[in-house]
Structure 1
Amino acid sequence: MAAHPVRVARRMMRRARRLAERTPPQRERYVDLLRAVAITAVVIGHWLSIYVTHDGRGFHGGSILEVASWTRPLTWLFQVMPLFFLVGGFVNAASLASHRGRGGNATGWVLSRTARLLRPTTVLLGGMVVAALTAGVLGTEPALIGEAVWLTSIPLWFLVAYIAVMVLTPPMYALHRRAGLAVPIVLTALVGGGDLARLVPAVPYVGQANFLLGWLAVHQLGFAWQDGRLPSRRSVALPMAAAGSVALVLLTVVGPYPVSMVGFGGEKVQNTSPPTLALLALAVTQAGVALWMRDRGDRWLRRLGPWTVVVAVNSVIMTLFLWHMTAVVIGVLALYGTAVMPNATPGSALWVLLRVPWLACLALILALLVAVFGRFEQRTRPRAGSVSAVRGVLPTALTVAGAGAVLAGLLALALAGPGYHGPAGLPVRVLVAYFGGVAVLGLVRWRYSHPAQE
């Protein structure tokens, strides 16, 4: 049994090498590299930001950002979700244009794209439910089950924003074709207005729109990069990176925004909940650096070895992201309170030194999880008769309703917070909304992926 994940990993790498060798020359390989780098940075950043202690009363922990202020500037390196949305905009624009070029339409595109995200997500949620039910039967304390489920579900919060901007890609791309870079500029101004509204008690909740507006702005930059309106020339990239960096320093060091680009308890304003102008300044900086590095990155990826690694990571990228906090839960239960991971004051020299075995152990656990669950993501591939054009009011309405239900379920999960939410580990409304939405999307997708039944 122990050798099984190893055999699976070897098969994954052999498959990745075959795919790498067959990559068409026109593929934008650098975008795949950025996506792999972004997700890897998120995973390592989350692993480093957690501190845990263990005593006779059980496990205790939190974010290192709360107790060690010297770690907060480091979030400028590890907060790379803007980079992921930039790449998402590039890829979604290219995919939508290609889909329409083959005779498809917006509804068919949304159905196809959501399949790639929701299959591995559904596997994770199903696994969480099974694990929670099993732990309850074995007599695990409800509070511990609730904490474990909450930690495991953290990656799902990000999907609320990403699925929303992805579903909105067809109309937003049409707007981009008309107005170009004016769209992210206007969205940035709206984010600034939302920031201001958050400070005025008379207009509550208005600033929460930045959860969507902020990420839409970065996603639109990806559109501009894909169609050449934001060229990867040094004359554009360097001023862009410099302007973003200056704005970031002014807004945080001089201005009212916190330095940390990752939110934590006790902050009056958080740069990610919802996204602020400071986070958009970081996004502009990252976009400028990415554009500047594009040519040399592309040349490097023409070598088979590096490109094979990038292909391998991207083939299971959602699995890596979705399961990395599960690795934390397993690692905490297995390591803390042992000689491998003794208690240390968070932020101390010993605590920093212990990050080495901590990261190594979590990487091994995550590799095993990917070997087991990565196959579900890799099976999500276009097939003969896959969704192309979906005509009619009813299937379009069902697609919108299904996507809305999925978003409602994931949003309810994010808002539920830590705590015990019943034997299944998740609130009932989350299970009903999410799995109901997945079922509706799956039904429409199945109906329109079998043209022989027309």
Structure 2
Amino acid sequence: MTMQQTTVTEAPKDERAAGTEPARDRYFDLLRALALFRVVLYHLTGWAWLPLLFPSMGVMFALAGNLMARSLRRPAVQVIRGRMRRLLPPLWLLGVVGVTGMVLQGWGPDADGHPGWWWLHLTFWIVPLSDPPYGEGLPGLHGFVGENWAADFAGPLWYIRAYLWYVLLSPVLLKALRALPVGTILAPVALAVAFEQGWIDLPGERIPSALTDFSTFGACWILGMAHQEGILRRLPRYVVPSVAPVIALAGLWYALHHGFGPGNDLDSMPLAQALWSFGTVVLLLHVSPSWTEWPHRLRRWSGAITLLNSRAVTIYLWHNICILVAATLWDRLWGFEALEQNVPGLLESVWPVLAVVWVLIGCCVLAFGWVEDLAARQRPRLWPTGAPRVRTRGGRRRAQPD
């Protein structure tokens, strides 16, 4: 879940000519913050209805696609290089911590009996063109981290891999979108249908998983680009409110007729996820009020929302292991007989665990979040609740709008 906060150091020519600078869209900031919160809550609780309430991954890919299309006013190579520079350092730091821990627990070249492949696949921790490997079944740290912790640690990495591929494909997708808007937007959904019907059957796991992610969320990324290009605004106002609910309900209908419920929600139904996310995302983009300033009732939350946006990659990468640690620590309270007898409801509640999770996430922001600033060529900050400041050509500092 993008999770990337895009920094623009120089306005496009048409904006500079008008004497203005690109401003942050606070509506998009709000959507990204809600998406991150929902991701954390869902991975803690597993409540099947949460992806229906708010399809976080589709929203985050749409927001990233929107920013990518805006950035592609500059040369494509420069934009891709900048996106990779922002994305990869937080992943490398995660890999240094995680891979080191796995190796210390015995994971290594002989873990799967193919040492050569182990070293080759390890490079996906450097450039995640495919899913980075991890040690399965590793023991936990008793009372602090649960067993098989590496699986939880590596769980969010599919998003980083998918995001990287979307970035690499964006110049081609943008050209296709301008030439054939409807066909380009619907192509990923058509691919999802083809996979679901068994018309496409590819060997192995890595290529099919990458294509499945593209078929599931590719339309959301392209919708974000279409919004930035003004394609959605050129539609008659009644089209999106009329068509989007039908597409979303088609996804819901498909899910309900294929055993939707706990353990079998939208995340395990790519076609249903693709349709529901498509319909919801296009409605959210259609409504888009494009706030350049926070509405009065949201101003009290501006610092928290800014923090979530500024540390989106760090939060997403580390939240799974924070959940595992929080749940493991909370389970230890069952060992206190007084608590077990007097407040069993509290021990069974997810809300105290959620509070612990966010405390741990805050610790990760303090410990690792500064890497996002370095990746963005900004001055490192521990707790960024305001706009970063960059040095202008005249030597003075100003708030950075986006």
Query: 1:38, 1:80 within 8 Å by CA — same for their partners in 2?
Result: yes
TM-score, normalising length from structure 1?
0.61
For 1:128, which of 78, 84, 98 is the aligned residue? 98
Superposed CA RMSD in Å reads 3.5
Amino acid at match of 1:93: A
Task: For residue 126 of structure 1, report the CA deviation from its aligned partner.
Answer: 0.7
- The answer to whether structure 1 residue 239 and structure 2 residue 242 are counterparts is yes
For 1:252, which of 252, 255, 261 is the aligned residue? 255
C-alpha separation between the residues in 1 aligned to 2:77 and 2:372? 22
Cα gap change, 1:315 to 1:73, in 2 (>3 Å): closer
Amino acid at match of 2:216: G
C-alpha separation between the residues in 2 aligned to 1:341 and 1:296? 52
- The answer to whether structure 1 residue 80 and structure 2 residue 56 are counterparts is yes
Identity %: 23
Task: For residue 329 of structure 1, report the CA deviation from its aligned partner.
Answer: 2.8
TM-score, normalising length from structure 2?
0.68
Task: For residue 204 of structure 1, report the CA deviation from its aligned partner.
Answer: 6.1
Q: Which residue of 2 aligns with 1:322?
A: 317
- Matched ranges for 1:12-411 at <5 A: 26-49=23-46, 71-77=47-53, 79-97=55-73, 100=74, 105-133=75-103, 142-144=138-140, 147-197=148-198, 209-231=211-233, 235-253=238-256, 255=257, 257-260=258-261, 264=263, 271-272=266-267, 275-276=270-271, 278-295=272-289, 300-301=294-295, 305-339=300-334, 350=345, 354-382=349-377
Query: 1:30, 1:301 within 8 Å by CA — same for their partners in 2?
Result: no
Task: For residue 110 of structure 1, report the CA deviation from its aligned partner.
Answer: 1.3
Cα gap change, 1:307 to 1:275, in 2 (>3 Å): same
Query: 1:211, 1:273 within 8 Å by CA — same for their partners in 2?
Result: no
Task: For residue 93 of structure 1, report the CA deviation from its aligned partner.
Answer: 0.5
How many residues were matched structurally?
315
* Deviation per residue, 1:77-132 (Å, 9 max, x gap): 254211111111111111112xx2xxxx2222211101111111111111112334
Task: For residue 273 of structure 1, report the CA deviation from its aligned partner.
Answer: 5.5
* Deviation per residue, 1:230-274 (Å, 9 max, x gap): 129863442244223321233223x4x4425x9x4xx6xx75457
* Deviation per residue, 1:175-195 (Å, 9 max, x gap): 112112321223322221121
* Structure 2 unmatched ranges of 5 or more: 1-19, 108-136, 142-146, 338-343, 379-402
Q: Which residue of 1 aligns with 2:133?
A: none
Cα gap change, 1:160 to 1:273, in 2 (>3 Å): farther
Query: 1:124, 1:322 within 8 Å by CA — same for their partners in 2?
Result: yes
Query: 1:42, 1:80 within 8 Å by CA — same for their partners in 2?
Result: yes
More helix by share: 1
Cα gap change, 1:351 to 1:126, in 2 (>3 Å): same
Query: 1:161, 1:215 within 8 Å by CA — same for their partners in 2?
Result: no
Give SS of 2:148's match.
helix
Query: 1:93, 1:223 within 8 Å by CA — same for their partners in 2?
Result: yes
C-alpha separation between the residues in 1 aligned to 2:157 and 2:225? 24
